[in-house]
Amino acid sequence: MKKFKPIILALLLTACLTGQALAEDFDGSKPLVCANIEVFECQPGEQCSERTIESVDIPQFFVFNLKEKTISGTLPDNTVKTAKIESLTVMDGKLVLLGAQNGRGWSVVITEDTGKMTLTASDEQAGFIVFGACIPK
């Protein structure tokens, strides 16, 4: 058992340092590439339903340029969509982004230790929830 203690200690230290390095990647200092994986549309009085990325007219991938405070992505027809990030906050191990565009408000929450992302967008007629994952660019 004594042989394993240094190995276990080294593995724990490596895991802690890796977790810290990953968290630093999501602190707003580096651009992020996020893949949109699942999309749900919700309307008043109806159950939410799963949609495809193409049917809700959003890019499969977003690039979050946190220094320039922009989000951009390219649609299948090569149209580039860009939005301005109005607010960027890092708190409780999460990167929180807020903005508004074309009559909709939106928010993005990215968990620093996993890169998992949830994006929500809504107006008076519908709400959208997008689940995805991000990596540093």
CATH number of the domain encompassing residue 61: 2.40.128
Say whether pLDDT at 21 is over 50.
no
Closest CA to 130 of 53, 75, 43: 53
| pLDDT at site 22 | 45
Confidence of residue 27 (pLDDT cuts 50, 70, 90): low
Tell me the one-letter amino acid at 72: S
- Is the pTM higher than 0.75? The answer reads yes
Residue 3, pLDDT score: 46
- Supply the pLDDT for residue 17: 36
Report pLDDT digits (tens) over 85-104: 999 999 999 999 999 998 99
Contact 122, 128 (CB under 8 A): yes
Across 12-26, 76-90, 110-124, least confident range: 12-26
Two tokens at 136? 């540093």
Q: Is 118 left (phi over 0), alpha (psi -120 to 50) or beta?
A: beta
Q: What is the pLDDT of residue 110?
A: 95
pLDDT computed for residue 57 by the predictor: 86
Q: Which domain holds residue 50?
A: 4-136
Q: How many domains does the chain have?
A: 1
11 pLDDT more than 90: no
